[in-house]
Amino acid sequence: MELSTLISAFTIGLLGSAHCIGMCGGITSALSLSLKGRNPSHVAGLMLCYHSGRIFSYALAGALLAGIGWYLGDLAPAVKMALRYFAAGMMIAMGFYLTGWWRGLTVLEQLGQILWKRLQPLSKKLLPITHSGSALLLGMVWGWLPCGLVYSNLALAASQGSILSGSLVMICFGLGTLPAVFLTGLFSRQIHHIIQASLTRNIAGLMVILFGLWATPGKHQMWIMSLF
């Protein structure tokens, strides 16, 4: 797989932080408040365990979908190109979602609720967080929270053609989301206002749309690369 794909996945995770704050910021802030009064380094360690679990679930989902994409691609080579177009289209849709111009991805999030309703009760059993193991498991559960941003990157993972590549794409994406979500847990109010600002979301959305256009196969890719 190309390094540019991993960089793109990381960057999209970083740019999509505004959406991540809205989806995961609540549980992250709640975790940090429940740990209030503990040693700061211990709290940071538990938060890292939580996010490691979340990223592990992303990687697992990426591996599963990449495996399916690889299998279908072997059956019908045209599927590989179709997956690339689909992944690019999902990125563009995510860009519009971030800006608030079009929220069609909420349909996928509603479908994801079918699985999430079965998993969510498990998270309640893991609270309050008492040790790194429970933080890791809680993150693994919350990694399956219905999220359009995750789904758009899973489409990219599915188009990679190998299980390892699919999981690496989702790991890079998860690492991209980490700075904003992690900092929100430690400095919730200050970071939340900055990242959720409409200007921030619009700029991030436009950048993701450009990434989606760049990912669409065609001669226009070099022109878009020249913009950066």
Share of the chain above pLDDT 70, in %: 79
User: Cα dist. 33→3, 30, 185 in Å?
Assistant: 38, 5, 8
* pLDDT the model gives residue 227: 57
Mean pLDDT value across residues 93-103 = 89
Domain of residue 116, residue span: 3-226
* pLDDT the model gives residue 37: 61
- Cα–Cα distance, 32 to 51 (Å, whole number): 13
* pLDDT the model gives residue 23: 63
Tell me which amino acid residue 172 is: C
- Cα–Cα distance, 119 to 36 (Å, whole number): 27
- Per-residue pLDDT tens over the stretch 205-214: 898 998 888 8
- Per-residue pLDDT tens over the stretch 7-56: 989 999 988 876 766 666 566 666 666 666 667 787 788 888 999 999 99
Q: What is the mean pLDDT of the chain?
A: 83
Nearest to 17 by CA among 203, 211, 228: 203
- Per-residue pLDDT tens over the stretch 186-195: 555 555 555 5
CB 142 within 8 A of CB 172: no
Residues 6 or more apart from 150 whose CB is under 8 A from it? 58, 61, 173
Q: Considering its fold, how many domains does the chain have in total?
A: 1
Q: Is the peptide bond before 128 cis (omega within 30 degrees of 0)?
A: yes
User: Does residue 77 register a pLDDT over 90?
Assistant: no
**Reported confidence tier of residue 120, pLDDT bands at 50, 70, 90:** confident
- Cα–Cα distance, 223 to 84 (Å, whole number): 19
* pLDDT the model gives residue 188: 53
